[in-house]
Chains A and B, each alone.
Chain A
Amino acid sequence: MKKVHVSTTINGDNKEFLCDTRETLLDALRDHLALTGSKEGCGTGDCGACSVIFEGEVICSCLALAVEAEGKNIDTIEGMANDGKLHILQKKFLEHAALQCGICTPGILMASKSLLQQNKEPTKEEVRFWLAGNLCRCTGYDKIINAVLDAAKEMRETV
């Protein structure tokens, strides 16, 4: 089958790949660009494990086509830590033990990052609603919510 050439920006770097038009963005990230941080939990938009930030908004990469990445800006979990230094959210997830198996974690971190970009001081309820599309089978959510609230607090204090 004829492949399409896609040129895109991922975590600030120019990337190019060849893909089939039916391929999802998630598959392209994982299979063509070796960015396997984004996970496939369901493939149907229900679990959020594949969350990436696409043109500034968090989306499910399993519900976008790889060809849609042409000319766009995408942030994935691989770009979250800076030069080996963890993002405040990542540190707070460790501190609060907000992960166990870790499959949901990259998606939850990306969704939380996008929340804190748009709302510096979310309430507990706002965090819960924002993350309603990110399922976690392990933690019971409380620790995740607390980690996000704590990260928001620290980010407000440090700037």
Chain B
Amino acid sequence: MRYEAPQTLNQAVNVFSEFNGLKRILAGGTDILVQLRTDVIQPELLMNIKDIEELGKIELFDNFWKIGAGVSAANITRNKEFSKEWPGITEGVGLIGSTQIQNRATLVGNLSNASPAADGVPALVAANAMVEIVGRNGNRKLEILSLISGPGKLNMKSDEFISHILIPRQNKNSSDCYIRFIPRTEMDIAVVGCGVNLSVENNNISAVKVVLGAVGPKVIFSEEASNSLLGASLNADSLSKLQEICERDAKPIDDKRGTIDFRRKVAGVLAKRAVEKAYKRIMEDS
């Protein structure tokens, strides 16, 4: 296996796009090292992107945040300004593994590994985040739902990789939330996860996105659940309707971590709780 650790993004694009063989990016390595060890993949080129300075930054622009592909989870959760604006995305990132894992794992790696249970992803989708992809023919942007095509699968060409995540600035009277269910209190894989981004105007919900994780081959944006809340006030009726739709929209599998029925039920409960929590955050801020 050839190993490269370029210092600039330009070099990285050249090295990666010019190599014709099985190749992978090495970010935090917390997924791929396990895959290398168990021979799940045997790349001929592994390119470490952590030494590229411009990919190691969290930057704030007028209307978006830009998080480099080399930024560790710990550096995202430590960023006070970002975590105040996007507490839900921060919650998802903060749940990835232990202290040791947090210091290495990246949000882009979490996304690129494309596990249906990835904790960083649902809140990103709810926030309408996009990725910036670099390759031989320059940059392009892609929505996260279009990026992920299935478990472990991304819609990218062989010369491309992700350089940044772009997250819009949060709107006024809005907040987000991510909750997951695991049987333990720490260090476990989500049985169900739910990310919500919510806006409120005159006590009514003016914009909302409800996204479910770990209950399908990829994250599920429940359009029906989101629409059911639009224009409504938050009450027992609107919440139980939301819960019912999420139970229906979840398409989980049966495994040792949870049965289909259990996962559907939990999806509904988590959606309800995440909406309530995001709503509470908005009320506390105003």
Contact = CB atoms under 8 A, between A and B. Distances in A.
A59 B100 contact: yes
A129 B101 CA distance: 13
A26 B93 CA distance: 26
A139 interface: no
A95 interface: no
Nearest to A62: B33
B95 to A, nearest CB: 11
A18 interface: no
A16 interface: no
A48 interface: yes
Given A44-B34, A46-B187, A63-B104, A130 B29 contact: no
* Residue of B33, B36, B72 with most chain A CB atoms under a 10 A cut-off: B33
Given A4-B3, A45-B100, A57-B74, A63 B33 contact: yes
B236 interface: no
Interface in A79-128: 111, 114-115
B157 interface: no
B5 A70 contact: yes
A132 B103 contact: no
A71 to B, nearest CB: 9
A41 interface: no
Interface in B11-70: 26, 28-30, 33-34, 36-37, 46, 48, 50
A59 B98 CA distance: 9
B33 A65 contact: yes
Interface in A30-71: 43-46, 48, 51, 54, 57-60, 62-65, 67-68, 70
A24 interface: yes
Contacts of B29: 63-65, 68
Contact of A111 (B36, B37, B99): B99
A59 B5 CA distance: 19
Contact of B34 (A63, A65, A67): A63
Contacts of A51: 100
A153 B98 CA distance: 24
B46 A21 contact: yes
A111 B30 CA distance: 17
Contacts of B255: none
Query: How large, as a class, is the contact surface on chain B?
Result: 20 to 34
Contacts of B28: 63
A66 to B, nearest CB: 10
Contact of A133 (B1, B50, B101): B101
A133 B103 CA distance: 12
A22 B1 contact: yes
Nearest to B187: A132
Contacts of A4: 3
B99 A132 contact: yes
A65 B3 contact: yes
Nearest to B3: A21
B195 to A, nearest CB: 22
A111 B100 contact: yes
A91 B206 CA distance: 59
A132 B94 CA distance: 13
B97 interface: yes
B2 interface: yes
B186 interface: yes
10 contacts: A22-B36, A24-B37, A54-B103, A57-B74, A63-B33, A63-B104, A64-B29, A111-B99, A129-B186, A133-B187
3 closest Cβ pairs, A-B complex:
A133-B98, A57-B103, A21-B3
Interface of B: 1-3, 5, 26, 28-30, 33-34, 36-37, 46, 48, 50, 72, 74, 97-101, 103-104, 186-187
Given A57-B74, A133-B187, 4 more contacts: A21-B2, A60-B101, A67-B3, A68-B5
